[in-house]
Amino acid sequence: MASRALKPSDAAWLYIEKRDKPVHVASLATFSLPEGAGPGFLADLVAEWRARPFYAPPFNLRLRPGLTSVILPSWQELKPDEIDLDYHLRHSALPKPGGERELGILVSRLHSNPLDRTRPLWECHIIEGLENGRFAIYTKVHHSQIDGMGGMRLLSRFLSPDPAARGLPPPWEVGLAGGGKKVEDGAVDQGSLIEKLVVLGKDQFRSGVDALKALGKLALEARRGGEGDGPAIPYGAPDSILNGKIRGKRRFATQHYELERIKRVAKAAGVTVNDVFLGLCSASLRRYLDEMGELPKKPLTASVPVSVRPADDASVGNAITTIFVNLHSDIADPVERLKAIATSSAPAKERLQSMSRGAIDNYTLILMTPYMVQLMLGLGAMSRPMNNLVISNVPGPQRKLYFNGASLDQIYPVSLLFDGQALNITVLSYDGQFNLGFTGDRDALPHMQRIAVYTGEALLEAEKALGL
């Protein structure tokens, strides 16, 4: 069987996974039935999908068994008859009234369960019974195989902008279009190999120097950071209830707003859309923690993943790096807080934009390796937190999409958590919407849904303060 070696940055997600700390990411898409759809629409859809056992990467990839793969994991490409589609494709129904609460409870439960490593690392759940004639599709894939931008490209490939399109393929038939490089046998010309190694060595040296320069700038920022007024730095976050040891059970909540509202706030405040998103998260967390008597005096720090995936890259795996942002949760005024976030995040953005892709890869590896080792050793909640939470912005399709005539109404990201990271907030823009997914540890964050509700109230507060 063909096999595909994992990059170290992808293999790390396998190393840190524990049974009660699963490392998969997911999407929750809600649809409205097409006009005139009969009562058997979803049953027919499930039957049609079960009749299409054709797989593209990563949906046909399983971890190669054996002791060697524990240390140096690789993917094993399976034939269609080696994949049990009935296991991966599930059909569920919500209890009445089939509202957002019932859907959130089901998704929280589904997201708490780890993927089976003896099979391809994915599940797809078709969920019927949503109120107003709607249904949902919850799809989860291991994070070693896909990142946010990869997921969005997959989405745009198996849905259609044409409401009349029919016979569209299921996601596992489409895949990520390309996959990783196969590990193939065969002789290699020695002279050619040496030349390639020399060129690779020079590129790595230059990239390594650029990465070290960027880390040097980060160290200087750390010395100038004082008590939290300047740019955020790794391991400079205050201790908080967001950074304790987590367990396996999850809570999931959602919010969605018109993207135009976010853009109006950004324009009025003279900041970016992403700055507004960070500001809403900061305001919500400030209020939530303050109500619990747990708001740190020092401002919270967010780790913000940034995609470095080229436009034509559809490979299996991840292409992301991380910047750290000061959320200025110590500032009470909403507009002042928003402008402070924009100002303090600028150096991190500039540093990233000045680096090559190779330098970014090395920078990310050097920066994140100590933290990943901590997680592998189970020490993620026993040292000073690297940051307080992860806040991510994933750009999605900006036009209306359909599946066999069913309208895609909203799509929400469902993310992963670690020890010392009890909350993840990810936003996904789609067709003029700003869709937020809140993934939290069930035990560490009581009444987590309040964080979601407070972001909406923070948006109203910002609009009012800016005269909108």
Which amino acids are annotated catalytic?
A: 143
- 416-434: burial string, b at 16+ Cβ within 10 Å, e else: bbbbbbbbbbbbbbbbebb
Q: In angstroms, what CA-CA distances link 184 with 113, 181, 341?
A: 34, 9, 49
- CB neighbours of residue 378 within 10 Å: 13
CB 454 within 8 A of CB 288: yes
Give backbone dihedrals phi and psi of 437, rounded to 5 degrees, phi first.
-115, 125
Q: In angstroms, what CA-CA distances link 121 with 26, 78, 143, 228, 237?
A: 12, 12, 9, 41, 33
Which tokens belong to 467? 């005269």
CB 254 within 8 A of CB 412: yes
CB 30 within 8 A of CB 134: yes
Find the distance separating the first CA and the last CA of the chain, reported in whole Å: 61
Q: Which amino acid is at 33?
A: L
User: What is residue 418's three-state secondary structure?
Assistant: strand
| DSSP assignment letter at 233 | -
Q: In the beta sheet, which residues pair with residue 32? A: 134, 407
Q: H-helix or E-strand containing 301?
A: strand 301-307
CA dist., res. 35 & res. 404, Å (int): 11
